[in-house]
């Protein structure tokens, strides 16, 4: 196991939810942290809640601004002189039927959840190659392994992340670069409340499943253990994790289970 203690870690989507909980957990492990999000004030609040604030740098990041990624990466590296790990956590979900969903919603989901993450990772990749060391940790979803109603664009973007980072691992393992894909099920965050609906507006309410899911601090601890073990993929949640294995061996059965549960 490669302990994460004391490493220089860059966390995106750190202003709330999983990213916020990760920041606190990594701060407790004396990591030097670069925390990013679009909301500066929320990042400041997260930093104020940490014990080792001198080891935390704030860096505003908008994943839709892919042209700025090289500049943002340079700023991140300059914060502590290097980066040991990038945790791609920022993203947005969806709750709408395909027939009702505007194409602009799909584009936004791809721009944020897929292309923004790819652009940031590509910009950092030369630094990891030069160091012959580094770890990409990308938060996808169980929905990156099988589909679910009302999440078509979200599932598509998360499936795409698996394809990209599987290839990145294959191409750059010889450069000392590790890739870990974290696949959450239901976690108690605001991801459901902030999910995009058919016209691009927020759902603005919680799903019962999410609010009965894993506590976010418990999830963060499980995630860190998977990162330290350099797992290729880690599935985390409750009963919903069984969908991974049903999909693999009995795809028609999973289809019937999901359709029945949706009704």
> Average per-residue pLDDT in the chain?
97
Give residue limits of the domains in the chain: 8-262
Residue 48 CA, distance from chain mean position:
23
Q: Annotated catalytic sites, by residue?
A: 154
What pLDDT does 35 receive? 98
Q: Element (H or E) spanning 66, and its range?
A: none
**What CATH class has 8-262?**
alpha beta
Alpha carbon 46 to chain centroid, angstroms? 18
Percent of the chain's residues with pLDDT above 70: 100
pTM: 0.96
**What's the CA gap between 89 and 70, in Å, rounded?**
19
Q: Is 219 a residue whose pLDDT tops 80? A: yes
Q: What is the pLDDT of residues 105-141, one digit of tens each?
A: 999 999 999 999 999 999 999 999 999 999 999 999 9
pLDDT at 98: 98
248 burial type by CB count under 10 A (0-12 exposed, 13-18 middle, 19+ buried): exposed
Q: Please compute the mean of the pLDDT values over residues 208-225 and round it to a whole number.
A: 96
Query: In angstroms, what CA-CA distances link 183 with 42, 129, 138, 172, 197?
Result: 25, 26, 9, 22, 22
């Amino acid at each position: 196991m490669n302990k994460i203690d004391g490493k220089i870690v860059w966390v995106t989507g750190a202003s709330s939810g999983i990213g916020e909980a990760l920041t606190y957990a990594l701060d407790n492990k004396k990591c030097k942290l670069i925390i990013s999000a679009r909301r500066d004030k929320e990042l400041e609040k997260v930093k104020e809640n940490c014990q080792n604030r001198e080891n935390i740098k704030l860096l505003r990041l908008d994943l839709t601004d892919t042209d700025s990624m090289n500049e943002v990466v340079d700023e991140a590296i300059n914060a502590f002189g290097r980066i040991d790990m990038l945790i791609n956590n920022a993203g947005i979900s969806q709750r709408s039927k395909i027939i009702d969903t505007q194409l602009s919603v799909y584009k936004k989901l791809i721009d944020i959840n897929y292309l923004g993450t790819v652009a940031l990772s590509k910009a950092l990749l030369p630094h990891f190659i030069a160091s012959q060391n580094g770890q990409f940790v990308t938060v996808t979803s169980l929905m990156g392994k099988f589909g679910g109603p009302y999440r078509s664009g979200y599932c598509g973007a998360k499936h795409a992340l698996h394809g990209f980072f599987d290839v990145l691992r294959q191409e750059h393992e010889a450069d000392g670069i590790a890739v870990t894909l974290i696949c959450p099920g239901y976690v108690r965050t605001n991801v459901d409340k902030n999910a995009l609906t058919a016209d691009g507006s927020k759902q603005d309410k919680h799903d019962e499943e999410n609010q009965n899911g894993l506590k976010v601090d418990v999830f963060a601890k499980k995630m860190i253990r998977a990162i330290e073990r350099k797992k290729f993929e880690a599935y985390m949640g409750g009963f919903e994790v069984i969908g991974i294995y049903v999909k693999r061996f009995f795809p028609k059965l999973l289809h019937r289970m999901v359709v029945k549960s949706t009704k």
